[in-house]
Amino acid sequence: MNMTGKNCIVTGAASGIGRAIAEKYVSDGANVCIADLKLEAAQRVAEELTAMGPGRAMAVEMDVTDEDAVNAGVARTVETLGGVDVLVSNAGIQIVHRIEDFPYAEWKKLLAIHLDGAFLTTKACLPHMYKQGSGTVIYMGSVHSKEASPLKSAYVTAKHGLLGLARTLAKEGGPKGVRSHVICPGFVKTPLVEKQIPEQAKDLGISEDEVVSRVMLGQTVDTEFTTVEDIANLAWVFAAFPTNALTGQSLVASHGWYMN
């Protein structure tokens, strides 16, 4: 199995997990579009990855909640790279509040980035995948696709929702050679998680160390964070796997926090 010559779009790849996935793909010979809200950061990543090779990377500015921006970004990727074989719908944010305090606008913003973003990017890529009779869509879920935690109602709702989209796509896309999966990481130390540590300490009335050791890693088997490389390796397996034997799956990587 390898990624040589595969054309990929990774959303939210200017940072964190998405960046690591793009790097893994390029290092195995794939061409990757770094699609992110933050154009300059995306361009920097694209330059770094192209310099590293052997694949190459390009950048597009894309707000995954904006249908026109998504369609334009996918069209430019197909034009530049020659097609799209793999979509990793990864862009995401976290907002934490108790349900009774959750501002409706923030609820809608989070759901739009995770769910509308997954839908719109999938919708834009599918005609290209169906035309060539192959493709893989990987959604960035979370242990919160399977479990709940206090303060994370919007995130837990969105991440559970991605399982439904992935399973539906597996059924619709299977006869046309298109597969779909959900990767479900435990806590990975990226800017998204760094931001939550002081916020949760304040909301829960505990120290930041306790947030890490009890709330985030308390249920792991070894009190360790999952790494961006762990998730990039899984994203490589799903993208490189050659047949429909593997479709409609959700795989948890969380140091045993969640087992199924």
CA 149 to centroid of chain Cα atoms? 20
Q: Taking CB under 6 A as the rule, does residue 240 contact ligand NAD? A: no
Question: What tokens were used for 134?
Answer: 């192959």
Pattern 153-182, ligand NAD, x by CB under 6 A: ------------------------------
Q: Rule CB under 6 A: choose which of 136, 180, 190, 200 binds ligand NAD.
A: 190
Q: Taking CB under 6 A as the rule, does residue 91 contact ligand NAD? A: yes
Cα separation of 187 and 222, whole Å?
13
- Is 155 among the catalytic positions? yes
Question: What tokens were used for 246?
Answer: 């593997």
Residue list 57-86, contact with ligand NAD (CB under 6 A): 62-65
Distance, first Cα to last Cα, the chain? 26
E-state strands within the chain: 7-11, 31-36, 57-61, 86-89, 135-140, 178-185, 249-253
Q: Are 169 and 122 in contact (CB under 8 A)?
A: yes
Question: What tokens were used for 100?
Answer: 């009774």
Nearer to ligand NAD, 31 or 258 (CB): 258
Nearer to ligand NAD, 194 or 209 (CB): 194
Nearer to ligand NAD, 192 or 204 (CB): 192
Which stretches of the chain bind ligand NAD, using CB under 6 A? 11-12, 14-18, 36-38, 62-65, 90-93, 113, 140, 142, 185, 187-188, 190-193
Catalytic machinery residues? 155
